[in-house]
Amino acid sequence: AQSVTQLDSQVPVFEEAPVELRCNYSSSVSVYLFWYVQYPNQGLQLLLKYLSGSTLVKGINGFEAEFNKSQTSFHLRKPSVHISDTAEYFCAVRGYNAGNMLTFGGGTRLMVKP
């Protein structure tokens, strides 16, 4: 079984400042890792994913994330945020042989202030 912990439920930040949203996971098997974004009253949209290869992955809207196997982390970063980045962000994992079940963390609300 897998579990995902997003350490911060809310992250307030000023516009144009950098941001990091933290994600740690627990799994007895190797996993694929994902970050999704959810805007108000919308479904989830994939930001980026780590499947294999380079541990630094780049996604849409200027976001990137780094997979750290030894620390079982997959933190999301953006060097300069915009007001439009205000949303809920979810980290998710799926075991290689987990029957394709995607397990989500509790989410982090990013609040970008002018």
Partner 1 sequence: EAGVAQSPRYKIIEKRQSVAFWCNPISGHATLYWYQQILGQGPKLLIQFQNNGVVDDSQLPKDRFSAERLKGVDSTLKIQPAKLEDSAVYLCASSLAGTANTEAFFGQGTRLTVV
Told to check if 4 binds partner 1 by CB under 8 A, we report yes
Gap between the Cα atoms of 1 and 106, Å rounded: 16
Sole binder of partner 1 in the list 46, 56, 60, 111 (CB under 8 A):
46
Binding partner 1 by CB under 8 A: which of 51, 70, 71, 114? 51
DSSP3 helix / strand / coil % (the chain, rounded to 5): 5, 55, 40
3-state SS, residue 26: strand
Among 28, 54, 70, 99, binds partner 1 (CB under 8 A): 99
Pair 32, 96: CB distance under 8 Å: yes
The residue with tokens 């439009």 is 84
41 touches partner 1 (CB under 8 A): yes
Query: Is 33 among the residues that bind partner 1 (CB under 8 A)?
Result: no
| Residues in touch with partner 1 (CB under 8 A) | 4, 6, 9, 32, 36, 41-46, 49, 51, 90, 92, 94-107
